[in-house]
């Protein structure tokens, strides 16, 4: 009986998602311009020799690590503040959520304009309060570009972590803190021994989903820099897109995408395992 309900969804998923995924996998091992169908690992070997890929991979690692770490820190801080007795708590939560709800492209474009060295608001603001003396080239200075993009991604991504950790904080019973305080635990000890263990599951969920999303992040970077200057803000998703649709190297692009997929599945394995065990 269950087949009637589950099968349409499963079939549809296999058709629209499984089939293209397998196709991509087979592209990635297909020999280019071969007469007969023959298979090769040359595309994967080519990745290792491609300095652009190596650089892009490195950029992605920096982008994801710094983004996720900063999301976690700011997200936890905001969640803890919003978990206190505050007036207008819902309003603050809504305001903190705004950067996250607009489409990626919109977020990227707003910041591209904020960052504009001459006409943008950010430099004007920093000049006025005296933090900088000359306009900063946020997105075209090679040393700064990737970090400027990460700074935008902090703005964009922390609300999601905040939401999840807030839900987790609200589930920690208050009397645990009271009991700890009676036993003479310091505030720091309460934080380390009650708050953090209480949030463990939420932290796993937030970490897994955030890493997956940041690895896949596309629209934000495409709208802001398109990977430039040079390839300094190029990440795996924008690089794969370019290989496909600007250089039409389908086999090579597929190989990059497969590498990305493997990384993503490995990262999300603990999360997938945890959820399916609970079911």
| Distance of alpha carbon 54 from the chain centroid | 19
The 10 Å CB-count burial string (b at 16+, else e) for 211-234 is bbbbbebbbbbbbbbebbeebbbb
Phi-psi region of 86 (alpha: psi -120 to 50; beta: other; left: phi over 0): beta
Tally Cβ neighbours within 10 Å of residue 70. Answer: 18
CB nearer other proteins, residue 23 or residue 54: 23
Give the x/- contact pattern for other proteins in 237-276, rule: CB under 8 A: x--xx--xx----x--xx-xxx-xx--xx--x--xxxxxx
Tokens of 233: 């803000």
Burial label, 255 (beta-carbon count in 10 A; 0-12, 13-18, 19+): buried
Q: How far is the CB of 173 from other proteins (least distance, A)?
A: 7
Q: Work out whether 195 is an interface residue with other proteins (CB under 8 A).
A: yes
User: Considering only CA atoms, which of 79, 82, 106, 90 is closest in space to residue 164?
Assistant: 79
Q: Work out whether 191 is an interface residue with other proteins (CB under 8 A).
A: yes
Q: Work out whether 190 is an interface residue with other proteins (CB under 8 A).
A: yes
Q: Considering only residues 93-122, where is the footprint of other proteins by CB under 8 A?
A: 93-99, 101-106, 109-114, 118-121
CB nearer other proteins, residue 48 or residue 88: 88
Q: For residues 53 and 258, what is the distance between their CA atoms, to the nearest angstrom?
A: 13
Q: How far is the CB of 202 from other proteins (least distance, A)?
A: 6
Q: Work out whether 65 is an interface residue with other proteins (CB under 8 A).
A: no
3-state secondary structure of 205: helix
3-state secondary structure of 238: helix
Q: Work out whether 51 is an interface residue with other proteins (CB under 8 A).
A: no
Q: Work out whether 66 is an interface residue with other proteins (CB under 8 A).
A: no
CB nearer other proteins, residue 50 or residue 124: 124
Q: Work out whether 31 is an interface residue with other proteins (CB under 8 A).
A: no
Q: Work out whether 179 is an interface residue with other proteins (CB under 8 A).
A: no
Q: How far is the CB of 25 from other proteins (least distance, A)?
A: 8
Q: Work out whether 205 is an interface residue with other proteins (CB under 8 A).
A: yes
Q: Considering only residues 211-230, where is the footprint of other proteins by CB under 8 A?
A: 212, 215-216, 218-219, 222-223
CB nearer other proteins, residue 143 or residue 183: 183
CB nearer other proteins, residue 146 or residue 168: 168
Sequence-ordered alpha helix ranges (H) in 103-173: 104-114, 121-128, 145-170
Tally Cβ neighbours within 10 Å of residue 36. Answer: 5
Q: How far is the CB of 165 from other proteins (least distance, A)?
A: 10
Q: How far is the CB of 33 from other proteins (least distance, A)?
A: 16
Q: Work out whether 76 is an interface residue with other proteins (CB under 8 A).
A: no
Q: Check residue 30 and report its DSSP letter.
A: B
């Amino acid at each position: 009986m269950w087949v009637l309900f589950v099968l349409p969804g499963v079939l549809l998923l296999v058709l629209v998602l499984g089939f293209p995924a397998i196709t991509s996998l087979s592209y990635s091992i297909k020999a280019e311009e071969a007469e007969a169908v023959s298979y090769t690992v040359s595309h994967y070997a080519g990745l290792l020799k491609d300095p652009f890929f190596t650089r892009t991979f490195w950029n992605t690692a920096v982008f994801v690590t710094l983004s996720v770490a900063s999301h976690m820190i700011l997200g936890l801080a905001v969640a803890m503040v919003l978990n206190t007795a505050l007036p207008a708590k819902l309003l603050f939560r809504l305001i903190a959520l705004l950067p996250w709800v607009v489409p990626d492209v919109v977020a990227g474009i707003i910041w591209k304009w904020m960052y504009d060295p001459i006409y943008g608001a950010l430099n004007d603001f920093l000049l006025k309060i005296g933090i900088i003396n000359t306009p900063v080239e946020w997105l075209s200075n090679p040393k700064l570009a990737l970090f400027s993009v990460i700074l935008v991604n902090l703005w964009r991504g922390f609300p999601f972590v905040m939401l999840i950790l807030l839900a987790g904080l609200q589930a920690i019973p208050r009397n645990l803190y009271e009991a700890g305080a009676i036993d003479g635990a310091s505030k720091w000890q309460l934080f380390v021994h009650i708050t953090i263990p209480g949030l463990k599951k939420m932290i796993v969920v937030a970490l897994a989903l955030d890493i997956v999303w940041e690895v896949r992040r596309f629209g934000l970077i495409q709208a802001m820099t398109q990977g430039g200057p040079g390839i300094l803000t190029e990440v795996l998703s924008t690089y794969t897109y370019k290989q496909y649709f600007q250089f039409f190297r389908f086999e090579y692009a597929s190989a990059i995408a497969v590498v990305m997929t493997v990384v993503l599945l490995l990262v999300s394995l603990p999360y997938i395992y945890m959820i399916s065990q609970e079911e």
